[in-house]
Copies of this chain bind each other. A is one copy, B any other.
């Protein structure tokens, strides 16, 4: 639908594309730096409230040695999530983005240097809760995870295709709530496959623990690939 505002877009897009080009450069530098340290880097995207932080709390509580995990958390405001996660003992840093609705590679460059990467196996980036903006920004990760909770509805992959198309793995969260909803998991999975045939699908509940062993195996397997390659 053509609109007056869209007529004005090419100029913005031009600058946006230049910024994205610069972002891709920094992301590639980040990735080289992370690989030199045999780090697996994971970028987690989702809507607000899909359970990114809860999933990481479980990972720290029962999945991975806390002293081998570093976490960078992005939010517009507050350091609530960093405080929630730091109770479990890992290295955590919060990036407050103000009005920017995504993390950028340069923020990860700086945050990872502040965090310190010595002795880490796994660097997890919890992106700003947003199913649109973060999709276009490579941060230098090995693995992009899109989290979608059963409460959000089966149609989300179709309605937010850019995020899902960029995912290596789609994690369906809060499956413990499915019995209380009119939720059809087969439909959600079919919609994921339609938009993102490349993505693995893992269904979990951070509350009951359902599906978490598969999620941890997946991460350990990907970390082993990074180690082999270096």
- Interchain CB contact under 8 A, B158 and A78: yes
Task: Name the B residues within 8 Å of A56 (CB-CB).
Answer: none
Contact of A130 with B by CB under 8 A: yes
- Interchain CB contact under 8 A, A80 and B129: no
Given the interface pairs A132-B128, A132-B133, A151-B149, the reply to whether A75 lies near B1 with Cβ below 8 Å is no
Q: Mark A114-133, 1 if CB is under 8 A from B, else 0.
A: 00000000000000111111
Task: Name the B residues within 8 Å of A99 (CB-CB).
Answer: 132, 136, 162
Q: How many residues of chain A are within 8 Å of chain B by beta carbon? A: 55
- Count identical subunits in the complex: 2
Chain A interface residues (CB < 8 Å from chain B): 1, 3-6, 8, 11-12, 15-16, 19, 22-23, 26, 47-49, 75-78, 80, 95-96, 99, 101, 104-107, 109-111, 128-133, 136, 149, 151-153, 155-156, 158-162, 174, 177, 180-181
